[in-house]
């Protein structure tokens, strides 16, 4: 988060120096994106989106927008600290550092009594081929049976 705060402070200073902020929220957001692009140029951060349609965020429900942004929660640019904190969070949501984050392990799906023993080795992987061939035959006969064809014809 410190890197996003530094970028947000620089962007805020640039906006103040250029007097780029006005009363139009959409124009301010587009100006912010331009300034963010300038600041992250040459760093490992990259924008997730080439174009963000902020009008879409106003007209559509939040779930349909690419960027989840509630424009009513954007603080006034006059409130320096509050605006910089909001801007740092916004920059964090629309950028990536190029590293893919692995999803967390799904431990809730693993039963608590499950034990994994890696010391067991299968000596001959083809030893169970007779069982597999029986299963294949059962599946094949089911798909050729009248029961399957009548169910299939009812659905069509």
Q: Do 75 and 68 form a contact (C-beta atoms < 8 A)? A: no
155 has a pLDDT exceeding 70 = no
Highest mean pLDDT among 81-90, 113-122, 125-134: 81-90
Token pair, residue 69, equals: 């942004």
Beta bridge partners of 96: 46
Residue whose entry in the numeric block shows the structure tokens 């299968």: 122
| Band of pLDDT at residue 90, cut at 50, 70 and 90 | confident
- With a pLDDT cut of 90, the percent of the chain lying above it is 1
- Comparing CA positions, the residue from 69, 85, 65 lying closest to residue 77 is 85
- Comparing CA positions, the residue from 100, 101, 102, 98 lying closest to residue 45 is 98
Q: How much is the pTM? A: 0.57
Which pLDDT value is given to residue 25?
72
Token pair, residue 116, equals: 């994994």
Q: Do 60 and 106 form a contact (C-beta atoms < 8 A)? A: no
Query: Span 44-51, mean pLDDT?
Result: 80
Which pLDDT value is given to residue 106?
65
Q: Do 4 and 86 form a contact (C-beta atoms < 8 A)? A: no
**Gap between the terminal Cα atoms of the chain:** 56
| Band of pLDDT at residue 120, cut at 50, 70 and 90 | low
């Amino acid at each position: 988060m410190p890197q996003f705060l530094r970028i947000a402070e620089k962007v805020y200073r640039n906006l103040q120096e250029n007097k780029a902020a006005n009363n139009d929220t959409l124009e301010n957001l587009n100006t912010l994106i331009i300034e963010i692009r300038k600041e992250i140029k040459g760093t490992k951060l990259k924008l997730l989106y080439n174009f963000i349609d902020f009008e879409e965020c106003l007209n559509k429900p939040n779930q349909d927008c690419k960027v989840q942004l509630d424009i009513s929660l954007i603080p006034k640019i006059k409130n320096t600290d509050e605006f910089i904190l909001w801007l740092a969070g916004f920059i964090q949501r629309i950028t990536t550092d190029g590293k893919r984050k692995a999803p967390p392990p799904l431990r809730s799906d693993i039963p608590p009594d499950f034990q994994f023993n890696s010391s067991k080795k299968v000596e001959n992987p083809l030893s169970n081929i007779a069982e597999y061939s029986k299963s294949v035959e059962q599946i094949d006969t089911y798909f050729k049976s009248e029961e399957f064809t009548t169910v299939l014809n009812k659905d069509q």
